[in-house]
Structure 1
């Protein structure tokens, strides 16, 4: 069924296979949940969430098109590379551009609605981060740990501020450690999840941390960064909601590190590590959104 195959390819190039879309929704909503969960279904928040989701889709499509040569050499990404070849890089780039334009348009609508521009600036900054990560001459993906630092912040942490600013005009002081912790956590988590791609990255000349320093050293460094991010995030959650919720958030967001057990034993593999950690990542992302609702 050609039509079904085409839709499956669209899903693949945007990384929309379950459970990833639920994590994307969590990234888009966490800001409004922290600002005031009573406004989660308000018009400006819904528009900002839609804009953020479009930013994430544009970023993923852009990454797929930019990484096609590398993904063709990665056994774990055979299906993704096949989908990208069938659709064509040019069409995927065009989709990313259209999604980015729609995100900016929705962000502008929020700005006009509320009379303040912070949400639009967040959306624009996130898009700029992904352009710098994926495209030459900057292409931060090939510049060691600078790549996961920018990608992590621009995908997992910063975009959620759009919905925050759809509720509040300025960042509360107690949100500073929350945001800082999320940025550091996102940096470490992105580097951690990139380690399984080290061989394909090295073969295609993309100097990611795994290709530059080796997967095990990359994992050691990224685990240290994750722990630092969790500590800062925990301080922010403690400040806002108390110690019990801080512990819950830190444990939930750090649970993906249990994927390291997949490296032990004769069947250990980096690919299995990433697959084992994915459900824990989703649980942590949903817990972070749930804390302001329940606290």
Structure 2
């Protein structure tokens, strides 16, 4: 059995330090909340949420193992790289495979339970996105803005659809702009949060947007993408719940923008950006889940 340090390392390589686990839960639950919040605690939804969380944890562990060489060059990721070295890439890859297999098995059980396969297909699609992002020969992480587009959609936006399909058999038309907005927002947000790693990425030849275009240009493009995502999300929320809830949702999800813009100024610190933004992003994600309950 691993000791205290071993368990700490497991937590670190899976990015389970507070408040991130609450964000992962929000990503897994938003679909069921939008489908019908009364079913959020139903059996199929709970099992689907568990399946989604297992796949997200597998994706995070896979990313840690795949990025070890780059993270060793990044002072801000010394704890992550140290934990990964102590555990070993082979062990972390094994955990990722086991977690992904368990997640797919649970999603398959829900598919048999409900007699429909949409939730399983969503979970499998999210897993495929992370395999393409992390593993050679594709490794989308080193392919400019394609990386954050796929990672963002596969981690922040698309997984929630699984719990939606555990409640409803088909996607409502008003959900289309909501989903599109979340995918675009996740793309911009992922690119933004990756900008602090630009130096380590450049040193190890990983052509992320920050390494390819520089952090300021990456942040500028990301800002525009985030605004586009918020606009689409606002349209979807207006369609479903009215203008008041649309404004509330857009303000909550976009609240981190002003603080991030300030941090990227002359006195700002890119390394502090993620720490400052994480609680604000969590508040926005939880607000999005809460809107269907309150509207």
- What is the TM-score with the length of structure 1 in the denominator? 0.98
Question: Which residue of structure 1 lines up, in the alignment, with residue 121 of structure 2?
Answer: 121
SS at match of 2:223: helix
- Deviations 1:174-228, CA, capped at 9 Å, x for gaps: 0000000000000000000000000000000000000000000000000000000
Deviation at 1:263, TM superposition (A): 2.8
CA distance in 2, matches of 1:201, 1:134: 14
Q: Which ranges of 4 or more aligned residues in structure 1 deviate by more than 3 Å? A: none
Q: Secondary structure at the match of 2:18?
A: coil
Determine if contact 1:260/1:273 at 8 Å carries over to the other structure. Answer: no
* Contact 1:104/1:123 (<8 A) preserved: yes
What is the CA–CA distance in structure 1 between the aligned matches of 2:227 and 2:94, rounded to whole Å?
38
Matches of 1:274 and 1:133, distance apart in 2:
21
1:37 paired residue number = 37
Q: Which string of whole-angstrom CA distances, capped at 9 and with x for unpartnered residues, describes residues 55-105 of structure 1? A: 110000000000000000000000000000000000000000000000000
Which residue matches 1:148? 148
Measure the CA separation in 2 of the matches of 1:265 and 1:200. 21
**Cα shift readout 1:240-263 (whole Å, capped 9, x = no counterpart):** 000000000001101121222223
Indicate the RMSD between aligned Cα atoms, in angstroms: 0.8
Q: Tell me what 1:137 maps to.
A: 137
- Work out whether 1:60 is the aligned partner of 2:60: yes
1 CA distance for matches of 2:219 and 2:49? 32
Structure 1 distance, partners of 2:103, 2:216, is 38
Contact preservation (8 Å) 1:261, 1:273: no
* Number of equivalenced pairs: 293
The aligned counterpart of 2:265 is 264
Alignment match, 2:235: 235
1:192 and 1:290 mapped to 2: Cα distance?
Answer: 25
In structure 2, C-alpha distance between the alignment counterparts of 1:94 and 1:255, rounded to whole Å: 38
| Map 1:206-245 → 2, pairs under 5 A | 206-245=206-245
Q: Can you give the 5+ residue segments of structure 1 that lack an aligned partner in the other structure?
A: none
Deviations 1:42-66 (A, max 9, x none): 0000000000000110000000000
| Structure 2: gaps spanning 5 or more residues | none
Match of 1:195 in 2: 195
Partner in structure 1 of residue 247 of structure 2: 247
Q: What is the CA deviation profile of residues 253-285 of structure 1, one whole-angstrom value per residue up to 9, with x for unaligned ones?
A: 01121222223354x210112211111100000
Contact 1:52 1:103 in 2 (8 A): yes
> Distance in 1 between the 2:194 and 2:131 partners?
19
Q: Which residue is 2:291 aligned to?
A: 291
The equivalent residue for 2:157 is: 157
How far, CA to CA, are the matches of 1:292 and 1:33 in structure 2? 6
